[in-house]
Amino acid sequence: MPKAKKSGKRKTFNYNQDRKKLKKKVLKKNKPRIENSQIRHAWDDRKSMAKNLQEMGLTFDPNRSLPITKQQPLGQLLVCVSMVVAELEEEASRPEKDTKTLSSDLIEYAQYMIREHKDNFKAMARDEKNYYQDTPKQIKRKINEYKRCHPEHYNNFINSLAAPEPMVQ
């Protein structure tokens, strides 16, 4: 078999590459970004991970920080609360918004099915507007998702269905 042509070539220095930028790029790739803002601001790059976490009042290994003993009652635990831990607890205590929403097409689909068939999911599955051939359970799941994500909108829609329509002359 023939030998590869470039394998014996001597490596030469590339003057067109900025070695300082390459080193920064490699270091940035190796040191990931900390997602949590409180921990990121309190982090000191010159210290080890264990030391940083210890100064913040956090722990890397919970088994080491709180050893399990059989005789220890729960009331006697001493907890060191630092600024970072207080901020994390405050952030965790805030209620989380339900940001899930449905597409307008899915809302229209659910409203059409309810308007035409009320609670008859088998009839909904046989409907001609059921383009994706959803099963009765899938349609029920989509309608329940609509109820959960947009409760006020759903209630207004149901109330508009229940209201008698005025006669047009």
Give the sign of the dihedral formed by CA 28, CA 32, CA 34, CA 35. positive
Rg of the chain in Å (alpha carbons): 31
pLDDT at residue 130, as a whole number: 94
Per-residue pLDDT, 71? 62
Helix (H, G, I), strand (E, B) or coil at 129: coil
pLDDT string in tens for the chain (169-residue length): 666 666 667 888 899 999 999 999 888 878 778 888 888 888 888 888 888 888 888 888 888 877 766 665 555 545 556 788 888 888 888 888 777 889 999 999 999 999 999 999 999 999 999 999 999 999 999 999 999 999 999 999 999 988 776 666 6
Q: What is the pLDDT of residue 167?
A: 67
pTM above 0.75, yes or no: no
| DSSP letter (8 states) at residue 60 | S
Q: Which two tokens stand for residue 95?
A: 């209620």
Q: What is the dihedral of CA 15, 20, 26, 29, to 10 degrees?
A: -130
CA distances from 60 to 36, 55, 139 (A): 16, 12, 46
Residue 97's pLDDT is 76
**pLDDT value of residue 152:** 93
The pLDDT value given to residue 85: 82
